[in-house]
Amino acid sequence: MANRRHVFISHHHADDASVTGLTRLLARSGYEIRNSSIRAKPANQRRLDEGRIPERTLKRLLRMKMSWASTVVVLIGKDTHKRPWVNWEITKANELGKRIVGVYERGGTENDIPEAFADYGDALVGWNSANVIDAIEGRVDAFERPDGSERPPGESFPRSGCAA
């Protein structure tokens, strides 16, 4: 039987394919990831883009889905740091006492780390199933660089200087 973990995967919706890729990567190592995050279907994404879903409704839905998870995994890709909802989800995860694990997508860089993750993250690992599992399980609290090398303690994250 697979090890089952309930997680909320915070991500930029343009990176939905990476959410699937991460769950498949972990499944190959015997982990069944039950992801409670929102992956908007095209019709719902259009409603979001048009502002037809009130912010309070979306926040309530995200809180409910996040409360069910033991860990919040933040997929860090090239535009993650620009997404205000990702920062909101990280801040809310911290308020809810969730473990917050960052995972670099392939091509993700240190400049892509959301500001809230730099404040509240518990571990940051590369796209490697063993490291991701250890971080989710709380066996490691390492902060890696995208290439998997360890970041020296106390070293700050670089900033790209762009905010949107």
Please tell me the pTM assigned to this model.
0.87
Per-residue model confidence as pLDDT tens digits over 62-96: 899 899 899 999 999 888 888 888 999 999 999 99
| Domain, as residue range, for 122 | 3-137
In a domain, 60, yes or no: yes
Classify each residue of 103-140 as buried b or exposed e, where b means 16 or more C-beta atoms within 10 Å of its C-beta. bbbeebbbebbbebbbebbbbbbbbbbebbbbbbeeeb
Looking at the domain assignment, is residue 147 inside a domain? no
Task: State yes or no: pLDDT of 164 exceeds 60.
Answer: no
- Asked if residue 56 lies in contact with residue 86, where contact means CB atoms within 8 angstroms, the answer is no
Q: Work out the mean pLDDT of the chain and round it to a whole number.
A: 86
Q: Specify if 74 maps to a domain.
A: yes
Domain containing residue 24: CATH number? 3.40.50.9200
Residue 158 lies in a domain: no
Number of domains the chain is built from: 1
CA-CA distance, 138 to 83, in Å (whole number)?
A: 26
> Per the domain annotation, does 86 fall within a domain?
yes
Domain contains 160: no
